[in-house]
A = this chain, B = another copy of it.
């Protein structure tokens, strides 16, 4: 008999749909693993630990977490319901992006799921599908989920650790930018922030795949299922001589500031170019009463790559010059204080 206290308002489960509390760990794993596709490890899931290849005798590693009600809501004010697929995809995107930002190629993920008993089993299956689709689209055929952990909690928490292969290259740090370098970027700017604004708005997004508002639905997808730059972008930047690189997860100004601080340099962002980028978001921003430039400069979660290159470097395909590195400190916008900065996802 299902306890009424397990039913959350945010997560209406059809009356006879199985929920996580109905299953033991083994049964739930048996539903998840077949959805993850072939594993690419030397030793995949099922033992105490997995074994992955590290061809150049180094492994790049990072960890990142998505928490319900902090990083996503199951039900947004706009009526959009975050799917398991969204969370699985986004988990891959934000993790893989950190590996690419070192100039490396993703090789594996281990994933820990903390789930309330009231979570619909189908939502968890969708999450597995989102992980698989995200890996297929954003990582490579050499990457897979090689292990995991399941536990119970009062909120959905999805943590992945991701590994990568530098393929013999030196990692590209944040600290190598030098005065005279070109600052370049590849990927979306401001779309995920726009999507967050739509999700938090009163526009009806309860059926984003329907025939409704495609402009706003596109922004919602950029927030919930971010598309990363092409898979070769990070390694290509490393090969082209990038002196510093990171993925823009907390906003362009804030993340440029991290390169400036780590490298002991100043960075001036190209105001003309970034205003043009903002102009393309203006129609949607006007409808939301928002400033598109604040999305471009301060919005996080787009996971584009921001890199510094020597002045004579040929920028890899897709990278666009968006600023210059100079002797000094801090980040300016056309020589002035930036009109918007980024966000601290932890503060508050």
A residues lining the B interface (CB < 8 Å)? 21, 23-26, 28, 42-43, 46-65, 67-71, 97-99, 101-102, 104, 108, 110-112, 114, 117, 146-155, 157, 159, 161-164, 166, 171, 173-174, 245-247, 262, 344-348
Contacts and interface: CB of A to CB of B under 8 A. Distances in A.
Q: Max chain B CB contacts within 10 Å: which of A104, A117, A347?
A: A347
Contacts of A23: 347
Contacts of A56: 57
Contacts of A163: 59, 61
Contacts of A157: 65, 67, 114, 153, 157, 159
Contact of A59 (B51, B148, B162): B51
Contact of A150 (B43, B174, B246, B346): B346
A114 B60 contact: no
A65 B49 CA distance: 14
B348 A21 contact: yes
Contacts of A247: 48
A67 B51 CA distance: 26
A245 B151 CA distance: 23
A70 B153 contact: yes
B49 A62 contact: yes
B21 A63 contact: no
Nearest to A65: B112
Nearest to A26: B344
B67 A110 contact: no
Given A25-B347, A42-B58, A58-B54, A104 B49 contact: yes
A226 to B, nearest CB: 16
Q: Max chain B CB contacts within 10 Å: which of A67, A69, A111, A148?
A: A67
Contact of A49 (B46, B101, B344): B101
A142 to B, nearest CB: 14
10 contacts: A21-B348, A28-B346, A47-B174, A48-B245, A53-B57, A54-B59, A59-B59, A70-B153, A157-B159, A161-B161
Lowest 3 A-B CB distances belong to which pairs? A161-B161, A54-B54, A25-B346
Contacts of A61: 49-52, 108, 110, 146-147, 161, 163
Nearest to A246: B48
Nearest to A175: B47
B63 A149 contact: yes
A25 B344 contact: yes
Given A63-B149, A152-B346, 5 more contacts: A25-B344, A50-B60, A54-B59, A61-B110, A71-B151
A251 to B, nearest CB: 13
A23 B149 CA distance: 30
Contacts of A48: 62, 97-99, 101-102, 174, 245-247
Given A344-B24, A348-B21, A110 B49 contact: no
Contacts of A99: 48-49
Contacts of A164: 49
Nearest to A23: B347
B70 A60 contact: no
Contacts of A246: 47-48
A67 B111 CA distance: 15
Nearest to A146: B61
A117 B173 CA distance: 31
